[in-house]
Amino acid sequence: MSIEQQTVRRAGMPLLGDPFPEMKVDTTHGPINLPGDMKGSWFVLFSHPGDFTPVCTTEFHAFAKRAAEFDELGVKLIGHSIDQVQSHIKWVEWINDNLNVKVPFPVIADSMGGVAIRLGAVHPGKGSNTVRSVYIIDPEGILRLMLYYPQEVGRSVDEILRAVKALQVSDKNKVAMPEGWPKNELFGDDVILPPPSDETVAMERKKKLGDGCLDWWFCHKKL
């Protein structure tokens, strides 16, 4: 059965809020057990269509340049594609030597496509190449965010970094994050308060209109 046929028939693709599927993967840094070896740490797994391709190379360059910023947030990076480990090693070597950056994170070698199929990262209409998918997993191994880009459009690594920061701030403070946070056009770096839990809280918020509340259901504040 081809990768495309297996993809069409796949079942159990993880959804937001699900535990990340357990799997043992081979990488450029040796075997890794996911999510077990990452327990206690956030991690971002990102798939790319193929090694030695121009758009993917620009993405790896961006991830490598921002690796220290992810590290400061306690986030580990893991690349992935349906390529052999020797191809990954040679491609990473080329990036290191020619683009003036060091790729510090492991890259999963998935030549049989098993990881891609389990994560829904192969589109049957696009052959066996993985799409540009991103999975953000929290320290408990829970899938918190997924992004999918077509092969023709490169990702914004800054947006992925922003999304991780937003998730961490949201978890820590039990708040929601507005569009574009921390540079929202309405509220800047303010956060959004959760909806009121009952009528009493709603009426209390109505008394604060103009002081952080546009209405009882729409309130923001500084952290």
Q: pLDDT tens digit string along 145-180?
A: 999 998 899 999 999 999 999 999 999 999 999 999
179 and 148 together in one domain = no
Q: What is the mean pLDDT of residues 202-219?
A: 90
* 42: β partners: 75
Q: Is the pLDDT of residue 5 over 90?
A: no
What is the number of helices (H) and of strands (E) in the chain?
7, 10
213 and 122 together in one domain = no
189 and 86 together in one domain = no
CB 188 within 8 A of CB 172: no
79 and 128 together in one domain = yes
Determine the Cα–Cα distance for residues 49 and 58; give it in Å rounded to an integer. Answer: 13
* 45: β partners: 78, 135
* Residue 165 domain-assigned (yes or no): no
Angle, CA 202 vertex, CA 197 and CA 208 arms, to 5°: 135
Q: Is the pLDDT of residue 106 over 70?
A: yes
Give residue 125's pLDDT: 66
Residue ending a domain, among 122, 155, 188, is: 155
Ramachandran assignment for 61, one of left (phi > 0), alpha (psi -120 to 50 degrees), beta (any other): alpha
Determine the Cα–Cα distance for residues 101 and 172; give it in Å rounded to an integer. Answer: 33
Q: Is the pLDDT of residue 40 over 80?
A: yes
The Cα diameter of the chain in Å comes to 65
Structure tokens at 16: 């937001």
16 and 121 together in one domain = yes
Q: Is the pLDDT of residue 100 over 50?
A: yes
Query: Is position 56 annotated as part of the catalytic site?
Result: yes
CB 136 within 8 A of CB 152: no
Confidence of residue 31 (pLDDT cuts 50, 70, 90): very high
117 and 183 together in one domain = no
Q: What is the mean pLDDT of residues 19-47?
A: 97
Confidence of residue 127 (pLDDT cuts 50, 70, 90): low
* Residue 162 domain-assigned (yes or no): no
17 and 92 together in one domain = yes
Domain count of the fold of the chain: 2
Domain range spanning residue 202?
174-223
106 and 66 together in one domain = yes
First to last CA, the chain: 53
| pTM greater than the 0.75 cutoff | yes
Give residue 9's pLDDT: 42
Q: Which residue has the tokens 């992004």?
A: 147
Q: Is the pLDDT of residue 219 over 70?
A: yes
Residue ending a domain, among 100, 120, 155, is: 155
Q: What is the mean pLDDT of residues 115-142?
A: 87
pLDDT, one tens digit per residue, over 69-83 is 999 999 999 999 999
Q: Which residue has the tokens 């060091």?
A: 102
* Residue 138 domain-assigned (yes or no): yes
CB 84 within 8 A of CB 115: no
3-class secondary-structure state, position 88:
helix
pLDDT, one tens digit per residue, over 131-150 is 899 999 999 999 999 999 98
41 and 72 together in one domain = yes
pLDDT, one tens digit per residue, over 189-199 is 999 999 999 99
142 and 65 together in one domain = yes
The one catalytic residue in 44, 56, 109, 134 is 56
CB 137 within 8 A of CB 143: yes
Q: Is the pLDDT of residue 101 over 90?
A: yes
Mean pLDDT, rounded, of the chain? 92
Give residue 161's pLDDT: 98
Structure tokens at 189: 């770096």
* Residue 166 domain-assigned (yes or no): no
